[in-house]
Structure 1
Amino acid sequence: MRFLVSNDDGYFAPGIAALAEALSRHGDVTVVAPERDRSGASNSLTLDRPLNLRRAPSGYHYVNGTPTDCVHLAVTGLLENRPDMVFSGINHGPNMGDDTIYSGTVAAATEGFLLGIPSVAVSLAGRNPQHFDTAALVVEHLLECCRRQPLTGPQLLNVNVPDVPPEALRGLMTTRLGRRHHAEPVIKASNPRGDTVYWVGPVGAAQDATEGTDFWAVANGYASVTPLMIDLTARDQLDGVRTWLGS
């Protein structure tokens, strides 16, 4: 198999090295990742300047752009053959619930999906994540599932793995996205020139972390696997909007 690997933490992050190493045992791996940390970049594309593609001593390619730029550039310009799958990660920290809207990790996988390629975002859910080997084992298990029953058409999966040793992982669980409370307020500070600056505050606590959600699965020792969709249409509101418009 041919794998394209990206992330939002940068090409130098230990998580992407763990992911690429795990996938290399199952096929050919090409890494195209941002040149610096682009966490929270979501699905942004760089349209106001050209992008540079360079190669690191590790053999990884890096781009002065977003995670979405990396996957788009790789699939539409760099690679001679389309990858069989796109993997993004292993992210340093979780991407659960509402986080998926902002996540550059999920965005890189989403771009692969939009280009017609089965794609997986993988995150290690720890404040200072350590057990990348556990997340790598989850990735290899997903590949075994693909061998037993190949994915029919493009699919987008969001995977979050608890930051525990491999022997402590209780298994994999299919989940839905949970919901968070509102984020904490911005943090007001002053820079060395005396100007007022603002830091975006931390994420809020989970509002919906009931059984069946990604939050519940990870908190209870399971790797959560959530299938995502991109259609943002609020279908249950279509009739109401038609009536409101008088059409």
Structure 2
Amino acid sequence: MLTNDDGIFAPGLAAIYKQLIHLGEVLVVAPADSQSGASHAVTFFEPLACAKADIGGLFSGFAVYGSPADCVKLAVIQLHKDPIDLVVAGINNGANVGINVYYSGTVAAAMEAAFLGIPSVAMSLAAEKEMDFDGAAEHCIDVLERLGPLKARDVINVNVPLLSRGDPKGIRVVAQATSGFHEYYIPQGDDEARTLFQLAGGGHRRELLPVDTTALAEGFITVTPLRPDMTDHAKIEPMKSQFSNDARHRSRGTL
């Protein structure tokens, strides 16, 4: 299954579709319009609209009036009767590295697949004025083939650097950066006497270890394995001791 967060008409989706069809049957279920920054939003309280769409004669797919996670959930549960072997999300217009992983609808679609027991790969291309999605698709399919068979719930995040600078220097398997950005808000007024705040800035903070943000900036394709489990397992046992006398604390307040 192929999806994205830029919308079913996005050139990045078409570019990777042309590569994926050489590997097997491809089902396209993508948002009807841009859902960039939608993260893992899911439609709960209203019906989810879906319509068939023909994309320039290249492929026919399903346009969903919802989020990327909606697309994956609807495809797996309702639209496709047979098991789905792999979910590919992308190619996104702009990198999804660092804390952008949490904001990204592209990565969220891949993570939704993991929730449903399906391996997935999120693919993104660093943003610039002229986006070479066809070139990025060739690099992404090479990474996908080199990954080999993925297991259920595997989530792999792939980012291609600026291609205007030439071919990538190679591939680096690195961790996700978590230090965030240098950001600030610009206050603005409007006609209704409100104050508007425009988020600005955007440079990544310094990282001490090799991570996806720095490797991508250096011109490498980054590959980062993610996981749907957000539990900090190392803290489970130490934290249990803090609550080992829980019964005593409860009895103290009994009348």
TM-score calculated relative to the size of structure 1: 0.88
In structure 1, runs of 5+ residues without a counterpart are: none
SS at match of 2:27: strand
Find the counterpart in structure 2 of residue 142 from structure 1: 143
Shift of 1:13: 1.1
CA RMSD of aligned residues (A): 2.2
Kindly provide the amino acid, as one letter, of the partner of residue 90 in structure 1.
I
1:6 matched to 2:7? The reply is no
Do the aligned residues in 1 keep the contact of 2:182 with 2:205 (CA within 8 Å)? no
Question: Is the Cα contact below 8 Å between 2:174 and 2:223 reproduced in 1?
Answer: yes
Q: Which amino acid aligns with 1:206?
A: H
Who is 2:81 aligned against?
80
Which whole-Å CA distance do the structure 1 matches of 2:235 and 2:113 have between them? 29
Contact 1:211 1:217 in 2 (8 A): no
Q: Does 1:214 align with 2:212?
A: yes
Deviations 1:71-100 (A, max 9, x none): 100111001212211000111111101111
Judging changes above 3 Å, is the alpha-carbon distance between structure 1 residues 193 and 89 closer, same or farther for their aligned structure 2 residues? Answer: same
Asked if residue 33 in structure 1 is aligned to residue 34 in structure 2, the reply is no
Question: Is residue 55 from structure 1 mapped to residue 52 from structure 2 by the alignment?
Answer: yes
Cα contact 1:179–1:207 (8 A) shared by 2 = no
2:38 maps to a residue whose letter is A
- Give 2:51's aligned amino acid: R
* Alpha-carbon displacement from aligned partner over 1:153-209 (angstroms, at most 9, x marks no partner): 33100011002159622222111111334552333323444443333x146432244
Q: Is the 8 A contact 1:19 1:90 kept in 2?
A: yes
Shift, 1:102, TM fit:
1.1
Number of aligned residue pairs: give it.
Answer: 241
Closer, same or farther in 2 for the Cα pair 1:27/1:102, shift >3 Å?
Answer: same
- Displacement over 6 Å in runs of 4+: none
Matched, 1:101 2:119: no
The 8 Å contact of residues 119 and 150 in structure 2, kept in 1 or not, is answered as yes
Q: Distance between the aligned counterparts of 2:111 and 2:201, measured in 1?
A: 22
Secondary structure of the residue that 2:13 maps to in structure 1? helix
Query: What is the aligned partner in structure 2 of residue 223 from structure 1?
Result: 221
Deviations 1:42-73 (A, max 9, x none): 11111010011112221231111111001100
CA displacement, residues 199-236 of structure 1 (integer Å, 9 cap, x when unaligned): 3x146432244553111221222110000012222233
Looking at structure 2, the residues matched to 14 and 28 of structure 1 have their Cα atoms a distance apart, in angstroms, of: 20
AA aligned to 2:36 is: S
SS at match of 2:63: strand
SS at match of 1:135: helix
Structure with bigger gyration radius: 2
